[in-house]
A and B are shown apart, each in its own frame.
Chain A
Amino acid sequence: MAAETHSTNPATMDTRQNDVIIEVRDANVSFSMDRGESRVLRDANLTVQRGEVLGVVGESGSGKSMLASAMLNAVVHPGQVDGEVIYHPQNGDPVDILSLSDKELAKLRWNEISFVIQAAQSAFNPTMTVGAHFEETLRAHGEDRDAGMAHARELLSDLYLEPDRVLGSHPHELSGGMKQRALIALSLVLKPEVLVMDEPTAALDLLMQRSIIGMLEDLQEKYDLTMVFVTHDMPLVTDLADRIGVMYAFEMIEIGSTDNVLDNPSHPYTRALLNAVPNISDRDMEIRGIEGRSPDPVNIPKGCTFNPRCPLATKECEVNDPDFRDIENDHEVACFHWERAREDIPLVARGDDSHSEPSTDGNGSFGGL
């Protein structure tokens, strides 16, 4: 449908195919609460290829932030993580991030894998200049200050910010979009391999969101980054991501190349989710929600977690939790009825291919905002 709009051509995808940089195996995150154990990430399994952009989408409370935190072993206290997150450095042996000591973690984070938190607007200490945050980070990792700051300036320029003005400002003197971009620059100052972003464009207006996506695309190319981009905004990530993973009820339910997931969604939830995206060219502007509500993390439905809301659910779905199955090249789905889903849940015609509709060609045009 819209294959030609994606930046990565299939040839380069294939060469990357088996150059895994992060492997998540059976990762679980749980919080113990008075009313029971709250499992906010369940048996997450996925691989991230070196140099790709993986988009993770899901509604609020689907566990996507937990997946992002788990990748850096940075789940907030008192959350418990188990499973394995294996990081394959460019040269050197793979390490399991979840079994590193605090000291080793402090070395790995930001240096190899960096993180942009959800609350970007409060990510800077209000009593320090933005520049001091950069210097402090370089010092904490024993990096050369001058070389590091030169890199910081370059990053800020890449993000269409004036380095001198931003570095000398206190956080309250910057706009939301500037703070967001300064945070992205801060997360890249130690030249990490991987950048994990948790809703990096939350709390920004649509224009700024779009222009940040454009800038991320450029950064990814320039610095050969691997990115994991977590968002609830499906249309936003489709232009950037090479692959998309869809989460529902603390589990990954469908993952595959962006084209496969968008053009050929095979999980009933993914199909319903895509149908729920409102379309501006739709005359009657009908909002098609999904019946019911997403489950409580303490009390997750037996079998397939989507079965209470799924129009295709059968007895089997109530008893067994479906495993991931390969349905085509680079497309996996956790559903027993994925073949029926394609026929029984027709995709609503989305005008002229909505997922690439708001083009980001003007990534520099809003840069000066």
Chain B
Amino acid sequence: MYYAKRIGQSILVFLIAVTVTFALYRMLPFGPVEMLKIQLMQQFIEQGSSPTPEQMAKINGMVQTYTGIDPSQPWYISYYEYIRDIVLYQDFGRSIFKQEPVFTILFKAMPWSIFISIYGLALGTTVSLLLGAGMAYTEGSRFDTGLTIFSIINTTVPYYVVAILTLIIFSFNLGWFPSGGRMDPATTPGINLPFIIGVVKHAALPVFSSFIAGFGGALAFRGNCIREMGEGYIRVAQLRGISKGRIAIRYVGRNALLPVYTSIMMGLAGLFGSSIILETIFNYPAMGYVTFNALLNRDYPLIMGAFIFFTAITLLGILVADLTYGIIDPRVKGGSNREAY
């Protein structure tokens, strides 16, 4: 029941987001659809004639291929068609600039974004959890204070500053890593070592930067661990003779993870958002980069498509966090099948 309700809510939010895109698209005075129509009409006017009704129909047809919205239709019909195209045919319209379906462009760019985001997040989360736990276990030591100071500085300095600094140091000054692109142009794509090395080298700096962006969790996890270590059940477990390793993982770690779990999953959504800036800095042609260039080129169909993509990913991250939380914390499981006392 809870799952059905939660999934239903996500679908509802997604539809609302699509509706907002549609409204921005279609209803806004001088919005994208109208602008496109005017642009096309101007081409005829420049040729010295005002468009004939047939040409007008042709213009409307072109607008529809690009945006998925036919300006001559009443809004509710085009709204229905817009939603239908997206949900049933994954038709987000056609990029004006690239002359390709929006879905194809985004779908091709997405794996690269996921590649660097997931690695950045996984690395950032693992390392920050380990360091947080290490800091908690050595509370008050030099290691703890040093890392606390570092973490505070790190959270104060935005990740894009870190990105630019790493670019300057490791790419321009030291020349260890390339400053842009996502693969070595001299290699042939496929499962071969030079290609893979090229991909890893190109991804290294963006991954490092998103790792830094996801590092702030260490302090929160440290605090949670310290709080857990004072709990009664830790003392009882020690008295019961439970091994230190099991206490650290099953008792301290597991319980300290609960409050940060949701923020880790939300971080997944956040990372995709930050990818717009990160990928632009590193010239890394993936989702964020494509979106940013679409913005520069006023490629409205592509921008709107990316908007819907990002919404979907964010919703998915939160949904997965919500649905899996019951597994890691038995207390939030739907209580209907349990007696309460």
A155: min CB distance to chain B, Å: 15
Residue of A nearest to B340 (CB): A173
B328 within 8 A of A: yes
Beta-carbon contacts under 8 Å, B212-261 to A = 231-233, 235-243, 246, 250-251, 254-255, 258
Asked whether any CB of chain A lies closer than 8 Å to the CB of B338, the reply is: yes
- SS class, residues of chain B in contact with chain A: helix
- Which of B240, B243, B246, B328 sits near A110, CB closer than 8 Å? B240
The complex places the Cα of A293 from the Cα of B235 at a distance, in Å, of 31
Q: Is A109 an interface residue (CB 8 A)?
A: yes
Assess whether B100 is interfacial by the CB under 8 Å rule: no
Whole-angstrom distance from the CB of A341 to the nearest CB of chain B? 39
Tell me if A174 and B341 are in contact (CB < 8 A). yes
Contact indicator A106/B232 (Cβ below 8 Å): no
Q: Are B239 and A170 in contact (CB under 8 A)?
A: no
Flag if B341 contacts A173 (CB, 8 Å): yes
- Contacting A at CB under 8 A, from B315-332, are 328-331
In the assembled complex, the CB of A176 is this many whole angstroms from the nearest CB of chain B, namely 9
With CB as the reference atom, state the residue of chain A lying closest to B238.
A74
User: Is A170 in contact with B331, judged by CB distance below 8 angstroms?
Assistant: yes
Report how far A136 CA is from B247 CA in the complex, Å: 11
Q: In the complex, A107→B241 CA distance in Å?
A: 7
What does the 1/0 interface line of A201-212 toward B look like (CB < 8 Å)?
000000000000
Q: Does B339 contact A (CB under 8 A)?
A: yes
Q: Which of B240, B330, B341 has a CB less than 8 Å from the CB of A127?
A: B330
**A125 near B250: Cβ-Cβ < 8 Å:** yes
Complex CA–CA separation, A174 to B330 (angstroms): 13
CA distance A127 to B246 in the complex (A): 13
A110 touches B241 (CB 8 A): yes
Interface size class of B (residues with CB under 8 A): 20 to 34
Q: Does B329 contact A127, Cβ atoms closer than 8 Å? A: yes
Q: Chain A 141-176 against B: per-residue CB contact (8 Å), 1 yes, 0 no?
A: 100000000000000000000000000001011110
Which A residues touch B331, using CB under 8 A? 126, 170, 172
Is the beta-carbon distance between A140 and B329 smaller than 8 angstroms? no
Question: Judging by beta carbons under 8 Å apart, are A110 and B239 in contact?
Answer: yes
CA distance A127 to B341 in the complex (A): 18
From the candidates A117, A173, A178, name the one contacting B236 in the complex (CB within 8 A): A117
Chain B residue, CB-CB nearest to A129: B330
| Central interface residue in A110, A118, A126, by most chain B CB within 10 Å | A126
Q: A125 to B239, Cβ gap below 8 A?
A: no
- Whether A72 contacts B239 by the Cβ 8 Å rule is yes
A183 to B237, CA, bound (A): 12
In the bound assembly, the distance between CA atoms of A127 and B328 in angstroms comes to 7
Contact B233 A175 (CB under 8 A): no
- CA of A202 to CA of B330, assembled, Å: 26
Contact of A137 among B235, B242, B250, B328 (CB under 8 A): B242
Q: How far is the CB of A240 from chain B (nearest CB, A)?
A: 23
What class of interface size applies to chain A in its complex with B? 35 or more
A125 proximity list for chain B (CB < 8 A):
233, 237, 250-251, 254-255
B241 touches A117 (CB 8 A): no
**Closest residue of B by beta carbon distance from A176:** B341
Would you call B233 and A122 a contact (CB within 8 A)?
A: yes
Nearest-neighbour CB distance to chain B for A363, whole angstroms, equals 21
Partner of A170 from the list B232, B242, B250, B330 (CB cut-off 8 Å) is: B330
Question: Given the known A-B contacts A122-B232, A122-B233, are A128 and B241 also in contact in the complex, defined by CB atoms under 8 Å?
Answer: no
How far apart are A184's CB and chain B's nearest CB, in angstroms? 12
Question: Are B254 and A127 within 8 A (Cβ)?
Answer: yes
Give Cα distance in the complex from A119 to B231, angstroms.
9
Please determine whether B233 and A124 come into contact, CB atoms closer than 8 angstroms: yes
User: What CA separation (Å) do A173 and B258 show in the bound complex?
Assistant: 18
Q: Is A123 an interface residue (CB 8 A)?
A: yes
Nearest CB in chain A: distance from B299 CB, A = 49
Complex Cα distance, B132 from A306, in Å, reads 47
B254 x A106 contact (CB < 8 A): no
A117 touches B232 (CB 8 A): yes
Enumerate chain B residues within 8 angstroms of A110, measured Cβ to Cβ.
239-241
Determine whether A87 belongs to the interface, using a CB cutoff of 8 Å to chain B: no
The answer to whether the Cβ of A100 comes within 8 Å of any Cβ in the partner chain is no
Could you tell me if A123 and B233 are in contact, using CB atoms closer than 8 angstroms? yes
Nearest chain-B residue to A119 (Cβ)?
A: B232
List, in ascending order, chain A residues with CB within 8 A of B236's CB: 117, 123-124, 183
- Is A13 located at the chain interface by the 8 A CB criterion? no
* Distance of B331 from chain A, by nearest CB (Å): 5
**B239 CB contacts on chain A under 8 angstroms:** 72, 74, 109-110, 115, 117
> In the complex, which of the residues B240, B250, B339 has the most CB atoms of chain A within 10 Å of its own CB atom?
B240
**A126: B residues at CB distance < 8 A:** 233, 255, 329-331
Q: Are B242 and A140 in contact (CB under 8 A)?
A: yes
* A137 and B241 in contact, given A122-B231, A126-B331, A170-B331 (Cβ under 8 angstroms): yes
Say yes or no: is A2 at the interface (Cβ < 8 Å to chain B): no
Minimum C-beta distance from B332 to chain A (A): 10
Residues A141 and B241 in contact in the complex (CB < 8 Å), given A126-B255, A173-B339, A173-B341? yes
| Contact call B243/A140, Cβ cutoff below 8 A | yes
Query: With a CB–CB cut-off of 8 A, which chain A residues contact B242?
Result: 136-137, 140
Q: Which of A118, A119, A129, A178 contacts B341 (CB 8 A)?
A: A178
Please list the 9 inter-chain residue pairs (A to B) with the smallest Cβ-Cβ separation, ordered nearest first. Answer: A119-B232, A122-B232, A175-B341, A106-B241, A170-B330, A140-B241, A123-B236, A137-B240, A125-B233
- Cross-chain pairs A/B with CB under 8 angstroms, 16 sampled: A110-B241, A121-B232, A122-B232, A122-B233, A124-B233, A124-B236, A125-B254, A127-B255, A127-B258, A140-B241, A140-B242, A170-B331, A173-B339, A174-B341, A175-B341, A178-B341
Additional pairs, 15, CB under 8 Å, beyond known A74-B238, A137-B241: A109-B240, A110-B239, A111-B241, A122-B233, A123-B233, A126-B330, A127-B329, A127-B330, A133-B240, A140-B241, A172-B330, A172-B331, A173-B339, A173-B341, A186-B240
